[in-house]
Structure 1
């Protein structure tokens, strides 16, 4: 099998050499690709000297890098890993095994099962954000995943070549997980150890801005993938608001035979119309999404590994 190790990088000169050496030791026959995303340090030079295939991605953002990787690189197995040396290379065999055996389309390096992420990661809001997004996605998609946002993943060719990537930044991991859940790809989680960045290596993540981007991604994908549930919820909110405004008007009408609160009556009717329109949009878009899923399944049937 052709194995490609994909390493998106931005200013990782302190760690990229070790990451490449570790994966070269574990996977001596694999092709190791480093996509430099406009680094201002010696990341590209060090990666090239370590024997990696170095390419440039000028559009800033991890999502843009992964999109180019999936388009440009042909392999049977894709290993995606960060260049910050937070994921031990020795676990790569455990992640590759179920994908290579045809038991999974994507395997995920689960950082949470052994507690290493909570103990090693020194950013408490990141831990909270991970848990919140995980609970939200598991609720929306009725799944039981333990690590939604890990950067240590292995894919087969089918997944890599048929996934439409919309994200530009660090929300790409969330998008991958949501896409796999919605399209019923087989996912297996493999417990791994996580270690924090070595001294001198700085994270590019921003808890607030990246957290907002991830939540926006979950919101839009929920709307696009489950429109009936989304617009049904919106319709329910409008319906409740319409009842709250309209019940006093109806009560007054039955008591006196006339309507004195005309503005409230107009508002209540407007809210009920919005509720009806939202529910109608939900049914129409749900039919479109179902047709899209059918077409995607047909595409999968025609895909040649």
Structure 2
């Protein structure tokens, strides 16, 4: 562990109440680590408090500024600047226990994993501590969809407490901009066959005066929308195949009266339905063809990614 370079990534947006405590807690556990705090366009004293904390306690690290709003934008900037063997990402709101970072890092090293996720949900503490209505429902929906798509058995796909290998970070393009980051990380690791493991951790809600930046309704819509788009990108045959089946069923339902007319009278009286059925059948064929083509493209992309990993220099 002492020979490994560790980077602690702390994206922060208006966290003046908790940023100092978070930095010191992780510094206590990882005094050799380099800290990268990213002020994500905060309007409070987050930046100055973080800078003062690093300087006063002689902590190795830097406070970066990212004006583009969104957690993913902040983390992307930190990943670009930080250079380490092990990367620790956590929220700057004291909700994740710093003392449990050793479990995550230990698993990453001993089991040669690429990503270790702090699982908040298995022990049931998150549901007791979290005060946001319907938030747990949204988590469960996302996890269920991911497990269905990839045949996985994940329990907490949206945890913000993660430890990464250098190989994962240097082969992971951050494409999202907001809090969908954790979903994107999880899906990237599953699709590209990175070694991932979840380890149960404790969790506590934000302290008094610290306000969550999440909105259950709007953010829930964004998560589901993001999942659907990733469904299309990662599993195109499933996505367009499903649309093809829907169009096919609709075509059969619309064309049934026209078929009955022809069988009975050798004449089609429901001409509009016959035209509609023909159009829907064309749409079904097109969706199936698109899905097949994109499935092939996706397979080629995964092949090229595997070649890229073989050329990756771990040093």
- Interval of TM-score (by shorter of Structure 1 and Structure 2): over 0.9
Residue aligning to 2:153: 144
Residue aligning to 1:232: 241
Cα distance in 1 for residues equivalent to 2:7 and 2:197:
19
Q: Secondary structure at the match of 1:35?
A: strand
Any stretches of 5+ residues in structure 2 without a counterpart?
55-60
Residue aligning to 1:119: 128
Map 1:24-173 onto structure 2 (within 5 A). Answer: 24-51=27-54, 52-173=61-182
Residue aligning to 2:13: 10
Cα distance in 2 for residues equivalent to 1:156 and 1:212:
31
Is residue 77–residue 100 contact of structure 1 (8 Å, CA) maintained in 2? no
Residue aligning to 1:259: 268
Q: TM (normalized to structure 2)?
A: 0.95
Cα distance in 1 for residues equivalent to 2:293 and 2:17:
52
Q: Secondary structure at the match of 1:107?
A: strand
Query: How far off is 1:102 after superposition?
Result: 4.8
Q: TM (normalized to structure 1)?
A: 0.98
Residue 283 (structure 2) pairs with residue 280 (structure 1): no
Residue 164 (structure 2) pairs with residue 185 (structure 1): no
Q: Secondary structure at the match of 2:228?
A: helix
Is residue 133–residue 216 contact of structure 2 (8 Å, CA) maintained in 1? no
Cα distance in 1 for residues equivalent to 2:72 and 2:305:
22
Q: Secondary structure at the match of 1:50?
A: helix
Any stretches of 5+ residues in structure 1 without a counterpart?
none
Is residue 33–residue 54 contact of structure 1 (8 Å, CA) maintained in 2? yes
Q: Secondary structure at the match of 1:166?
A: coil
Moved segments of 4+, more than 3 Å:
none
Cα distance in 2 for residues equivalent to 1:67 and 1:20:
19
Residue aligning to 1:207: 216
Cα distance in 1 for residues equivalent to 2:171 and 2:111:
17
